[in-house]
Amino acid sequence: MLFYIMLQVKNISFGYNKNLVLERISFQIESGEYLAIIGESGSGKSTLLKLLYGQHDLNEGHIYWKNEEILGPKYNLVAGYDFIKYVAQEFELMPFISVEENVGKFLSNFFPEEKKERINELLNVVELSEFAKTKVKLLSGGQKQRVALARAIAKQPEIILLDEPFSHIDSFKKQSLRRKLFRYLKEKGITCIVASHDKDDVLGHADYMLVLQDAKIISYDKPQQLYKNPKTPLIASFFGEFNIIDNTIKYTHQLKIVDKSDLKAIVKQSYFKGHYYLIEAEFCAEKVFFQHSSSFMVNTEIYLDFIKD
């Protein structure tokens, strides 16, 4: 499959009431790629998605999809473009009609059999087949979120923008739903941009990660590279608990107990995490965390060392 540069974001800046939320942001995406946008709350993730959708006017810069410039409400009476779908954290569904009617709302009625097959396919992707006839008002928040996802991909857009797409969905449903949805988008060649706080939305799925902090991009790379070499505490915190020891960032699984070392710590707490315990200890009046196969008594003295990669 051939890939082409489809989305180009060139030096865009935007702010509310003269306070810059995004400053000189630039990146590009090839067709069919999945880009994850991460950052702290208020870092501009949702705002960036809205700008890509054409919901706001840029202060400066340009956004292009293929050769068409994405423009805001100053230029378009109705925000958005037919080739883009945007799923916000607030779902704009029709509560008094069924799930299948919501999903098929914008599909053509000229070919009823094809429409029915399409709706069934989409309900299978979001794991809602058994709720096809249920009115949306009777659904949980997580189920409504899945209906919104199905409706967004119903007409197979060229690009889809997802803002925390699994935030309302129960944990036991998230994993299989992620796999189905992202596999479907990849198979159909739909470019996907996701704003997320959840590393499981990214690892194993995203082609690239964009990290926002203080209105700017502080990193743009493959998830594997950012995970292995987190250059800032913000990036490390996205992937899991970590320590800063001798100005070096180390995840909790990168420390091990040894017989003797310069890193002597006192155990303060053990937290059961399933297949391991997270141990909280004190080193030089600072907290340090590491993983171990068993728990420890409080005030146990231990020695730690780095695990060699």
Per residue of the chain (309 residues), what is the pLDDT tens digit?
455 679 999 999 999 887 899 999 999 999 999 999 999 999 999 999 999 999 999 999 999 999 899 999 999 888 889 999 999 877 789 999 999 999 998 888 888 899 999 999 999 999 999 999 999 999 999 999 999 999 999 999 999 999 999 988 888 888 999 999 999 999 999 999 999 999 999 999 999 999 999 999 999 999 999 999 999 999 999 999 999 998 899 999 999 999 999 999 999 999 999 999 999 999 988 999 999 999 999 999 999 999 986
Closest of 74, 72, 67 to residue 54, by C-alpha = 72
| CA–CA separation, 265 and 251 (whole Å) | 17
In this structure, the number of other CB atoms found within 10 A of the CB of residue 151 comes to: 25
Contact between 185 and 160 under an 8 Å Cβ cutoff? The reply is: yes
Both structure tokens of 28: 């590009």
Sign of CA dihedral 129, 124, 163, 249: positive
Contact between 174 and 188 under an 8 Å Cβ cutoff? The reply is: no
Contact between 178 and 211 under an 8 Å Cβ cutoff? The reply is: no
Closest of 38, 56, 8 to residue 236, by C-alpha = 38
| CA–CA separation, 36 and 86 (whole Å) | 15
241-306 belongs to CATH 2.40.50.140: yes
Contact between 221 and 209 under an 8 Å Cβ cutoff? The reply is: yes
Q: Which CATH number fits domain 5-232: 3.40.50.300, 3.40.50.720, 3.90.1150.10, 3.40.640.10?
A: 3.40.50.300
| CA–CA separation, 241 and 250 (whole Å) | 9
List where CATH 2.40.50.140 sits in the chain. Answer: 241-306
Beta bridge partners of 219: 211
Strand 216-221 relative to strand 5-16: parallel, antiparallel, unpaired?
Answer: unpaired
Determine the pLDDT at residue 3: 54
The amino acid at 307:
I
Determine the pLDDT at residue 5: 75
Which own/partner pairs from 66-73 qualify as long-range (CB within 8 Å, at least 24 positions apart)?
Answer: 66/6
Determine the pLDDT at residue 4: 67
List where CATH 3.40.50.300 sits in the chain. Answer: 5-232
Determine the pLDDT at residue 152: 93
**How many angstroms from the chain centroid is the CA of residue 298?**
38
pTM here? 0.91
Q: In sequence order, which ranges of 106-209 are alpha helices (DSSP H)? A: 112-125, 141-153, 171-187
Determine the pLDDT at residue 11: 97
Determine the pLDDT at residue 305: 95
